[in-house]
Amino acid sequence: MYRNLGKRMNEEDRKMNLLYKSTRNAEYTVTASQAILKGLAEDGGLFVPVEIPKLDVTMAELKSMSYQDTAYAVMKHFLTDFTEEELKHCINNAYDSKFDTEVIAPLVKVGDTYHLELFHGATIAFKDMALSILPHLLTTAAKKNNVKNDIVILTATSGDTGKAALAGFADVPGTRIIVFYPKNGVSKVQELQMVTQKGDNTAVVAIHGNFDNAQSGVKALFEDKELEKELADAGYQFSSANSINIGRLVPQVVYYVYAYAKLLENEEIAVGEEINVTVPTGNFGNILAAYYAKQMGVPIGKLICASNENKVLFDFFKTGKYDRNREFVLTSSPSMDILISSNLERLIYTIAGQDADKDRELMEALKTTGIYEITEDMKAKLADFEGGYATEEETKAAIHDTYASTGYVMDTHTAVAAHVSKVYQNTTGNEKKMLVASTASPYKFIGSVMTAIDEKYAGMDDFALIDELEKTSAMEVPNAIKEIQNAEIRHTLECDVDQMKSTVKAILKAGM
Ligand SMILES: *Cc1c(COP(=O)(O)O)cnc(C)c1O
């Protein structure tokens, strides 16, 4: 008996101290809160937990839990240096009335597929699932590590991330956020969402340039040692809300656990029954979270990675060769128009047997040649994954046909996944129940969605189409859209690409 007790205490002790390693340096470990504060490791690697913890509650217990309770049951295993009180405080401040439904992430059955709707937050896209809690995790982490400075979040955005970060950080004490977007490079809805953002600690700047200019400009500010010193003297330090932050990845594991538990509760599946999951993928964060959920003990069979015409990942899963040297295609699912999926590095590290040297070698090759190839051994460890892609025509057809047969309207990103999931089922005959991560509200990509439903809508004004969609679907216009129709424009700053530094200084000096 004493021996058992001893064992359990060791187990407890180990769990108390789940540490994070850099994918590029085996020697370097940090706590969860330090990993959240840093974002990226100094050697350029990504932080990964030294092992994926197991759930310590049964599915029967999880079945009846709220989203918030599930979040605690999952996240406490990853963020072991947060106290129960701290973590619950973060969770309760994130998953509240900012979401338009108490269940936070509803499951909707469409035909024989289960859609996990991750778009009920403030900006009606799945980034809200993590960006609504990241600010709280970050400020708690700052306190724990005796950071006295205010945290300044700098973000360059092509539309979605910027707004979700603004909404998450607005009026969070101890933080400020400055978002740069390309003046003529975002949709009308996206621009209005940003320039009407409330919150005394928020700033939005339109730059005279494209997204790459904004992104490189922000990167240069992060690397500017002189600016860092100047800011520190004024009581500020920079941080990033980038999707490689472990504080964004961990909250995403929650909804896969939650979805499985709800399928059980609704008696759609039996205890222990495996389901497949299809995820519309860009930076590989969302699907990696599903992989972590599987490793925590959720009965997930295949993880199906759905790409649009930028199908680097499809080719990678087929051949074991990652090759970014190709034409960049602008598609109707812009949040997946990505040729370098940064979070894939965490999977590469895992299948290399946590070999930091191997990981670094491959990532160096990616940087210098744009290509790397994994070994046969590593390839063999990818059996949980399956790749697929949808062309623009197939995406459009998925929206059209699903609407015609069920009345359900999907956004373009979700449609990519829906198409890929059907192809997977038809070609393999695998009959496991299918969960599709539904990542954006159709209202957000309204032009493409309505045109897919009926060509007569092509070229119509976004706001006219919003009324049409409400008439067409059972889905009410979300608050996120209603708000911007009459909201006051609060942000009018513009600058040239070479004025980003002086603009940041001016904003911080003015106290915003
Ligand atoms: C960001 C995003 C994705 C891609 O998610 P990753 O985690 O980057 O793979 C898919 N759909 C929408 C709507 C998004 O905003």
DSSP 397-446: HHHHHHHHHH-----HHHHHHHHHHHHHHHHH---SEEEEEE-B-GGGGH
Instruction: Provide the pLDDT for residue 2.
Output: 36
Q: Which pLDDT tens digit goes with each residue over 433-469? A: 999 999 999 999 999 999 999 999 999 988 899 999 9
Please state whether beta strands 175-182 and 202-208 pair in parallel, antiparallel, or not at all (unpaired). Answer: parallel
Pocket test for ligand 1, best of 439, 441, 444, 449 (most atoms within 8 A of CB): 439
Residue 222 confidence (pLDDT):
85
CB 278 less than 6 A from any atom of ligand 1: no
Tell whether ligand 1 has an atom less than 6 A from the beta carbon of residue 126. Answer: yes
CA of 123 to the centre of ligand 1 (A): 13
* Whether the CB of 160 sits within 6 Å of ligand 1: yes
Which atom, in ligand 1's list, is nearest to the CA of 440?
Answer: 13
How far apart are the CA of 502 and the centre of ligand 1, in A? 32
pLDDT value at residue 9: 42
User: Residue whose CA is closest, atom 8 of ligand 1?
Assistant: 283
Place of tokens 């990678």: 316
Tell which atom from ligand 1 comes closest to the C-alpha of 414. Answer: 11
Per-residue confidence (pLDDT) for residue 14, from 0 to 100: 46
**What DSSP designation does 146 have?**
T
Question: pLDDT tens digit string along 246-264?
Answer: 999 999 999 999 999 999 9
Q: Which ligand 1 atom is nearest residue 285's CA?
A: 7
- Testing ligand 1's pocket by substitution, the residue of 335, 443, 449 carrying the most ligand atoms inside 8 A of its CB is 335
Mutate which of 331, 336, 449 for ligand 1 pocket (most atoms within 8 A of beta carbon):
336
Q: How many other CB atoms are found less than 10 A from the CB of residue 464? A: 11
- CA–CA gap between residue 257 and residue 133 (Å, rounded): 17
Which residue has a Cα nearest atom 1 of ligand 1? 335
Spans of the chain below 50 pLDDT? 1-11, 14
What is the 261 CA–ligand 1 centroid distance (Å)?
23
308 lines ligand 1 (CB under 6 A): no
Q: Is 202 left (phi over 0), alpha (psi -120 to 50) or beta?
A: beta
Residue 411, CB-side half-sphere exposure with 13 Å CA sphere: 28
